[in-house]
Structure 1
């Protein structure tokens, strides 16, 4: 399997319909995903995503199978502070737990520092999302703190871990 990143395209939208409706896939994902129920809401969100100027969005593709499996990037890019917030969403469940998160995280971080000229890239992650925390740690993210009970899923509050990587720590 060969993973590559490319620009998101309008034709990628159709994949998100089934992914976002799958509770298992979105369990630890964006809060907005928890609220979207139909294709129209998902379509509107995706259209806005393509127009977003303060985000760096890339499609994650299994190049061997020529199949879209998710997307990742950096949101809320501040040109003033040279910072942004990393995100990744692997919508195709058959690719979970295969080390793709670590690979993609490292690629996006490289692009954030090289292409975008950022100094700091942060993220937040549920303490229950052990696989993601492992991927972020493997990509040299450092834990900065905890947002106590900052995450609510499955009828329970969980802590949200704040992690970041600085340009001087990357490489």
Structure 2
């Protein structure tokens, strides 16, 4: 699949308020294809992140992306992320499966000792997936997440090698 085809898929996902409800704050700001395209191009150039596509192997369909950002070679740590843009795959256990796979790669291939993440308290499905993947709650950032006119807490979770 060519980058422009992948970008077109991201254009659809990022413009869907339901899909991006709990996602990156930058997704909330991007409105035009040009903004999304620029973000996507920067993602491809980011050498401090481990980025992987999430593909349904039964039909070779791109359904999202995942990885570990802000990798610190000094601290042997990074921040996990996942974005399943195709709504038809939500709530099917894919998040748990992908999370376990990427965490394993982070520990085995990247040599990390700690992988953390933050998640909105309202994103119950994600918290369940991360818990099933053995992430532990470390703390809460009060009112650190603003969506739909309200502040919500962000949960800090992490897993150690």
Q: Normalization by structure 2: what TM-score?
A: 0.97
CA distance in structure 2 between the partners assigned to 1:132 and 1:117 by the alignment: 25
Runs (4+) off by over 6 Å? none
Count of residue correspondences = 160
Q: For 1:98, which of 85, 92, 97 is the aligned residue?
A: 92
Deviations 1:17-53 (A, max 9, x none): 0000000000000000000001000000000000001
Kindly report which structure 2 residues correspond to 1:7-156, keeping only aligned pairs within 5 A, or say none. 10=3, 11-156=5-150
What is the CA-CA distance between 1:147 and the residue it aligns to? 0.0
Structure 2 equivalent of residue 5 of structure 1? none
- 2:59 & 2:91 partners in 1: Cα distance? 18
Give the Cα–Cα distance (whole angstroms) in 1 for the partners of residues 68 and 36 of structure 2: 20
Give 1:4's aligned residue: none
Unaligned runs of 5+ in 2: none
Per-residue deviation, 1:66: 1.2
**How much does 1:12 deviate?**
2.0
In the alignment, the residues of structure 1 paired with residue 144 and residue 21 of structure 2 have an alpha-carbon distance, to the nearest angstrom, of: 14
Tell me how large the CA RMSD over aligned residues is.
1.1
Over residues 117-156 of structure 1, what are the superposed CA-to-partner deviations in whole Å (9 max), with x where a residue is unaligned?
A: 0000000000000000000000000000000001000000
For the residues of structure 2 that align with 1:150 and 1:118, how far apart are their CA atoms?
27
Cα distance in 2 between the residues matched to 1:71 and 1:9: 15
- TM-score normalized with structure 1 length: 0.92
Unaligned runs of 5+ in 1: 1-7
